[in-house]
Amino acid sequence: LVKFGEIEEAVSCSIAFNYGNWWGIIYSGRIGYVSKKEVSSKKVFTVAELNNFYISRCINLKDCNNKANDNISQFYILPSTNYLESANNMLQNRYQISNYGVFYFPNGIKWDKALVSENGRSYLRALNGHFFLSDLIKSYEATRKKVYLEKGFKVIKDWINNNPYPNKTNTMAWHDETTARRLVQWIHFYHHAKTVLPKKDLEILLKNIIFHADLLSQDFFYSHNTNHGMFQDEALLAFSEYFKEYQDALYYQLLAQKRLKNYFDYIISAEGVHLEHSPIYHQIIAQSVLNYYKYFNNVGNTTISNYLLNKFNSMSNFSTFIIKPDGFLPAIGDTQYNLKPDTNIWKSNEWYQFAASAGKKGKPHPKTDMVFKKSGYAIFRDSWNKGTDSTYVLFTAAYHTGYHKHSDDLNMWIYSKGTDIIVEAGPNGYDYHNAFTEYGYSSFAHNTLVVNDKGLPRHDSQYKKVYIESYQLDKNKAKVRGVNERYKNVKHIRDIQYDKLNQMIEVNDTIQSSVRNNYKLLWHMAEGIEAELEQIRNNAYNVYLLKNKNKIATIEVTSETKIDLNIVKGQKNPQYLGWKLLINGNNIPINTLVISTNDDTTKINTKFILH
Q: 75 with 181, same domain?
A: yes
Residues 33 and 51 in one domain: no
Of 326, 357, 324, the closest CA to residue 342 belongs to: 357
Burial 480-516 (b: 16+ CB within 10 A, else e): bbbbbbbbeebebbbbbbbbbeebbbbbebebebeee
Same domain, 36 and 65: no
* pLDDT of amino acid 566: 97
At 604, is the secondary structure helix, strand, or coil? Answer: strand
Number of domains in the chain: 3
pLDDT tens-digit profile of 86-144?
999 999 999 999 989 999 999 999 999 999 877 788 899 999 999 999 999 999 999 99
Domain containing 17: what range? 1-41
Over residues 290-307, mean pLDDT: 95
Q: Confirm whether 523 is domain-assigned.
A: yes
Question: Chain-centre distance of CA 365, in angstroms?
Answer: 26
What is the percent of the chain where pLDDT is above 90? Answer: 88
Q: Does residue 430 belong to any structural domain of this protein?
A: yes
> Are 269 and 376 spatial neighbours (Cβ–Cβ below 8 Å)?
no
Whether residue 484 lies inside any domain: the answer is yes
The answer to whether residue 516 scores a pLDDT higher than 70 is yes
355 and 217, same structural domain? Answer: no
pLDDT at 27: 86
Identity of the amino acid at 149: L
Q: What is the pLDDT of residue 243?
A: 97
Q: Are 54 and 32 found together in one domain? A: no
User: How far is Cα 592 from Cα 578, in angstroms, rounded to an integer?
Assistant: 5
- Specify whether the CB–CB gap between 105 and 49 falls below 8 A: no
- Same-domain status, 84 and 233: yes
141, 159, 180, 458, 572 from 188: Cα distances, Å? 12, 17, 13, 37, 46
DSSP 8-state secondary structure symbol assigned to residue 358: T
Same domain? 337 vs 231: no
Domain end position, chosen among 257, 289, 310: 257
**Assigned domain for 311 exists:** no
Q: Residue 407 burial by CB count (10 A; 0-12/13-18/19+): exposed, middle or buried? A: buried
Angle at 208 between CA 205 and CA 209, to 5 degrees: 85
Exposed/middle/buried for residue 218 (C-beta within 10 Å: 0-12, 13-18, 19+):
exposed
List the 490-499 sheet strands across, edge first.
466-473, 477-484, 490-499, 504-513, 602-610, 550-559, 540-547, 529-537
Claim to verify: residue 79 and residue 23 sit in the same structural domain: no
**DSSP β-bridge partners for residue 529:** 547
Is the bond into 166 cis (omega within 30 degrees of 0)? yes
- Residue 587 falls within a domain, yes or no? yes
Average pLDDT over residues 44-52: 94
CA quadruple 349, 350, 351, 357: dihedral sign = positive
- Round to whole Å and give the CA distance between 400 and 397: 10
Q: Check whether 561 has a pLDDT greater than 70.
A: yes
Q: What is the mean pLDDT of the chain?
A: 95
Q: Are residues 483 and 572 in the same domain?
A: yes
Mark whether 381 and 237 lie in a shared domain.
no
Amino acid occupying residue 255:
L
Asked whether residue 304 is domain-assigned, the answer is no
Q: 593-609: per-residue pLDDT in tens? A: 999 999 999 999 999 99
Amino acid at 190: Y
Contact present, 559 and 414 (Cβ < 8 Å): no
User: Which amino acid is residue 282, in one-letter code?
Assistant: H
Nearest to 435 by CA among 422, 446, 444: 444
Do 467 and 582 lie in one domain? The reply is yes
Closest Cα to residue 396, out of 323, 484, 325, 329? 484
3-state secondary structure of 97: coil
Last residue of a domain, one of 206, 233, 257: 257
CA 580/CA 588 separation, integer angstroms: 5
In a domain, 294, yes or no: no
535-561 burial string, b = 16+ CB within 10 Å, else e? eeeebebbbebebeeeebbbbbbbbee
Q: Is the pLDDT of residue 337 over 90?
A: yes
Over residues 63-91, the pLDDT tens digits come to 899 999 999 999 999 999 999 999 999 99
Q: What pLDDT score does 585 carry?
A: 84
What backbone torsions phi and psi does residue 542 show, to the nearest 5 degrees? -115, 140
**Which CATH number is 154's domain given?**
1.50.10.100
Task: For residues 324 and 327, give the distance between their C-alpha atoms in angstroms, rounded to a whole number.
Answer: 5
Question: Of the candidates 205, 224, 257, which is a domain's last residue?
Answer: 257
Q: What is the DSSP letter of 571?
A: B
The pLDDT of residue 347 is above 80: yes
**pLDDT above 70 (res 61):** no
In angstroms, the CA 543 to CA 599 distance is 23
146: how many CB neighbours lie within 10 A of its CB? 14
- CATH code for the domain of 372: 2.70.98.70
Mean pLDDT of 233-243: 97
Answer yes or no: do 147 and 59 share one domain.
yes
For residue 58, the model assigns a pLDDT of 87
**Is 265 part of a structural domain of the chain?**
no
Please give the sequence-ordered ranges of beta strands (E in DSSP) within 287-410, or none if there are none.
Answer: 370-372, 377-381, 391-396
Q: What is the pLDDT of residues 170-216, one digit of tens each?
A: 889 999 999 999 999 999 999 999 999 999 999 999 999 999 999 99
Cα separation, 319 vs 375, whole angstroms: 13
Amino acid in position 26 = I
Q: Residue 301's pLDDT is what?
A: 93
User: Binning pLDDT at 50, 70 and 90, where does residue 392 land?
Assistant: very high
Beta strands 490-499 and 504-513 are: antiparallel
Q: Which helix (H) or strand (E) holds 190?
A: helix 176-193
CA distances from 362 to 64, 302, 305, 384, 559 (A): 43, 30, 27, 12, 45
